[in-house]
Amino acid sequence: MVLIESSESEVEIPIKDEPKPSSLSSTKPEKTMAATEAKLVDGDDSDGFETASEREISDEEDDCKNDAVTIQEEPEKKEEQIELMREGEDITEDGKNQEKAMAEANEAKVEGNKLFVNGLYEEALSKYVLALELVQEFPESMELRSICHLNKGVCFLKLGKYEETVKECSKALELNPTYTKALVRRAEAHEKLQHFEEAVTDLKKILELDPSNDQARKGIRRLEPLAAEKREKMKEEAITKLKEMGNSILGRFGMSVDNFKAVKDPNTGSYSLSFQN
């Protein structure tokens, strides 16, 4: 009991002695503090601060991770380098193979030319075929291939196989559209086959490429009348066939195509039919 003096009167106020915390109650805050510190270390508390010791631990973990990544990346880099070396070796090997094939193809072409000069056209053909097979897949061989196709066409021309000549010269022109020699040989083959219009077309193309080519100009003057004559002949043959077909149908009705007269229009060259008894 404690007495506190007052100016007015003496009042006795009882003050209870607060009990001292027991050892059991004091351990709870310590546990709470330990848990809080554990949360901070574990990073559960977003408002926690990183201590020096924690930073060292984190740095060590990052270093370990970086070392692991480096160890994993090094074999990958080595594999990439090995792969690049292999690709380089493949490219080099392909280049050597291509050079070898081109050289062999040129040799075959030269041998074919020698055989052609000696009149051995079948044997020369086999050499040109071999040259084409050796370089068929190389884009750089377009010129060589066009020459070989033309040479094959000339061999066929000598052997009287004019259709084959047209085919081979056409292949040469696909590879080289301005190949004048191929146009000349194809025009010759067309003339042999009496394809006069096609021959004139090739000769006119030659003149476009080489206006000073007198042979092409002479060929056009010689073949154009033949082409016109053939057109007229083909028209007459077509009219004759149409008459035969018409008679077979009109005969059932007691008529014939002779009851119809074909009149040619001089301006257009077309024909019109008029009925007459």
Q: Which residue spans within 94-207 are E strands per DSSP?
A: none
d(CA 269, CA 220): 23
The ranges assigned to domains in the chain are: 65-159
Spatial distance between the Cα atoms of 240 and 214, rounded to a whole number of angstroms = 40
In this model, does residue 209 exceed pLDDT 50? yes
pLDDT tens digits, 227-274: 999 888 888 778 777 777 776 776 676 667 666 677 778 888 787 767
| The predicted structure's pLDDT at residue 88 | 54
Q: Are 179 and 150 in contact (CB under 8 A)?
A: yes
Contact 109, 147 (CB under 8 A): yes
164/92 Cα distance (integer angstroms): 39
Length of the chain: 277
DSSP 265: -
Q: Which of 69, 62, 37, 36 is nearest to 51 (CA)?
A: 37
Which whole number is the average pLDDT over 153-176? 97
Amino acid code (one letter) for 258: D
Give the pLDDT score at 48.
Answer: 38
pLDDT value of position 137: 82
Residue 193, SS3 per DSSP: coil
pLDDT for the residue 8: 42
pLDDT exceeds cutoff 50 at 31: no
* Residue 178 predicted with pLDDT over 70: yes
CA distance 125 to 173: 19
Is residue 39 over pLDDT 50?
Answer: no
pLDDT at position 187, please?
Answer: 97
The structure's pTM equals 0.58
- Would you call 206 exposed, middle or buried from its count of C-beta atoms within 10 A (0-12, 13-18, 19+)? buried
Spatial contact of 165 and 186, defined as CB atoms under 8 Å apart: yes
